[in-house]
Structure 1
Amino acid sequence: MGVLDARTATVRTTGRLAGKTALVTGGSRGIGRGIAERLAREGARVAVHYGGNETAAKETVTAIEAAGGEAFAIGRELGTPGDAAALWAAFDEAADGLDILVNNAGTGARRPFATIDEEEYDRVFAVNTKAPFFLAQQGVDRLRDGGRIINVSTGLSKAALMPETIAYAMSKGALDVFTRYLSKVLGPRRITVNAVAPGIVDTDMNAGWLRGNEKALASSAALSALGGVGTPAEIADVVAFLASDDARWVTGHWIDATGGSLA
């Protein structure tokens, strides 16, 4: 057995998620990539979903495998008719059953209320709210009893800190309601459903207004009680906890992972 093979075997047999299969939507970049890599380090086999950036998804899979984990990529655009069915069909070609579904994929530009048109509004809700609903609905037969559904929300659904994110925050607010109700629906099967709410995180999605802008960075850091901007790894650690057996008695919950920005 080679060094990499030995390391892989160790990860798969000793990690908290050894023997589990996870699907992370939007798993090729940012928070999604952080989550995919974290779950893989815990021993899960991870389906890395991407919408259009195949290169980034392959890079994520390669990074997971180089660290001794196991992953595969699935490319399907969300927010389009039949997106959930198409994604699950691709998943079924590579995996038999699911233990952890992480609805992370999201979209939404910073745009003033007066400038948002119907097409953009519909797109935001199609990706952020509709896709998680139907992915869960069509995925529950694949999800094993005692499984996990983790929805990535936002602190902006609880506090109007950035008025220019109004449509995005609304779509995530609906996702929060979905989380609570679905926890009741799936509770009899011991499937937990929770939402993790990041604050401002240093990702590609926020790069345009955050990176290289000292004023924006300072004001963003000032919002946090911990005095900083979040990283994908910090959000991924919370998701990993919820995916583990340690969180088996936590469900229907909205977890503030904003670094105290709402305190």
Structure 2
Amino acid sequence: MRIKSRGLLVEPSRATVLKGRRIAVFGATGGLGAALVAELIRRGAAVVAVTRRPGGTLLDGPLAGKVAIDLESPESIEEGVAALSDLDAAVFVTGIDVRKPLTDHSEDEISRLLRINLEGPILATRRLIDRVRDGGVIAHVGGFADGRLALPYYTVDVASRAGLAAFSEAITRELRLEGRDIVVSYLCPEPAETDAERPYLDLWRSMGTSVAAPSMVARFIADSLETRPGLRMMGGASRLIAWINALSPGVADMVALNRMGRQLRGAFGRPAGRSSAGD
């Protein structure tokens, strides 16, 4: 969006582009979610906070509403999304990680991860399509690099996030064919200094990955709501690794992923001599 002033095209203030836009933030009380709510309110958006449970943690700033939706429950999704209306955007700052050998995952862990990271967001997106105005965006905040980078010890997590990335691409094309001007974006920030991620920040840094403050990630997401990209990644090194991996996984292994894999094994791999769960 540009504004004409005295014959010149000038970029509008970041604080005005989203002014008055009605935006639902799923996962609003998490570390990144709360930072995003604050950033959107600063830019003048009308924010509806979507939390897992009624009540939830108090958020700074005036809210346009609060809705409880549990992404593990199809019934909660149906009921909660029905309470949302006239949205210009919806953002999912949700998801869980399980970082360990696949053979150490329990069946319950796998099922829960897939429900929260993949099935729940898909079911909610299906209903949100009729709640978001044309010209709007539904954004899923996903994993490292392009969400499809197959890091070891993140096996089920990668499967769920890669599935969501492909889903976002496919439904955007479907909506375009149906004559709807709604983009379903997949956004990939750098690891953030949240309570959940803090134990792993030194590991990310050792692998050459930048670590961002939650406020920086919030600005990245808010900027993306303005431009409505299909896919957007934060961080030059992450984009480069994702690009190389898309062209040739073998080259990506030689350039970076073999080294990163060894570091991940040191952090999450099974100690020598210990067999897998159930053996």
For the aligned pair, the TM-score class normalised by the smaller chain equals: 0.7 to 0.9
CA 1:221–1:100: 2 relative to 1, 3 Å = same
Distance in 1 of aligned mates of 2:47 and 2:87: 10
Asked if structure 1 preserves the Cα contact closer than 8 Å seen for 2:193 and 2:213, the reply is: yes
Deviations 1:114-171 (A, max 9, x none): 111222111111111111111111111111111111111111633334x222111110
* Equivalent pairs, count: 223
CA 1:126–1:39: 2 relative to 1, 3 Å = same
Paired amino acid for 1:260: A
Offset, 1:85: 0.6
Offset, 1:53: 8.2
Paired amino acid for 1:160: A
Offset, 1:73: 2.4
Deviations 1:94-123 (A, max 9, x none): xx4111011221123223211112221111
Which residue of structure 1 aligns with residue 23 of structure 2? Answer: 22
Asked if structure 2 preserves the Cα contact closer than 8 Å seen for 1:230 and 1:258, the reply is: no
1:158 lines up with 2:148 in the alignment: yes
Asked if structure 2 preserves the Cα contact closer than 8 Å seen for 1:155 and 1:262, the reply is: no
Which residue of structure 2 aligns with residue 189 of structure 1? Answer: 180
CA 1:122–1:219: 2 relative to 1, 3 Å = closer
Distance in 1 of aligned mates of 2:203 and 2:99: 16
1:81 lines up with 2:74 in the alignment: yes
**Poorly superposed stretches of 4+, deviation over 6 Å:** none
Asked if structure 2 preserves the Cα contact closer than 8 Å seen for 1:40 and 1:46, the reply is: yes
Offset, 1:24: 1.0
Asked if structure 2 preserves the Cα contact closer than 8 Å seen for 1:37 and 1:64, the reply is: yes
Name the SS of the counterpart of 1:205 in structure 2: coil
Identity among equivalent positions (%) equals: 25
1:143 lines up with 2:140 in the alignment: no
Name the SS of the counterpart of 2:153 in structure 1: helix
Which one of 106, 119, 135 corresponds to residue 95 of structure 2? Answer: 106
CA 1:53–1:262: 2 relative to 1, 3 Å = farther
Asked if structure 1 preserves the Cα contact closer than 8 Å seen for 2:54 and 2:67, the reply is: no
Which residue of structure 2 aligns with residue 127 of structure 1? Answer: 116
Which residue of structure 2 aligns with residue 64 of structure 1? Answer: 61
Distance in 1 of aligned mates of 2:162 and 2:194: 21
- TM value normalised by structure 1: 0.76
Paired amino acid for 1:221: R
Distance in 1 of aligned mates of 2:73 and 2:56: 21
Asked if structure 1 preserves the Cα contact closer than 8 Å seen for 2:205 and 2:211, the reply is: yes
Which residue of structure 2 aligns with residue 257 of structure 1? Answer: 234
Offset, 1:259: 5.6
User: Larger C-alpha radius of gyration, 1 or 2?
Assistant: 2
Which residue of structure 1 aligns with residue 211 of structure 2? Answer: 229
Gaps of 5+ in 2: 1-14, 241-279
The structure in which a higher percent of residues are helix is 1
Distance in 2 of aligned mates of 1:239 and 1:43: 15
Paired amino acid for 2:119: K
Distance in 2 of aligned mates of 1:53 and 1:167: 29
Distance in 2 of aligned mates of 1:86 and 1:124: 22
Which residue of structure 2 aligns with residue 198 of structure 1? Answer: 189
Offset, 1:262: 5.2
- TM value normalised by structure 2: 0.72
Which residue of structure 2 aligns with residue 243 of structure 1? Answer: 225
Asked if structure 1 preserves the Cα contact closer than 8 Å seen for 2:148 and 2:165, the reply is: no
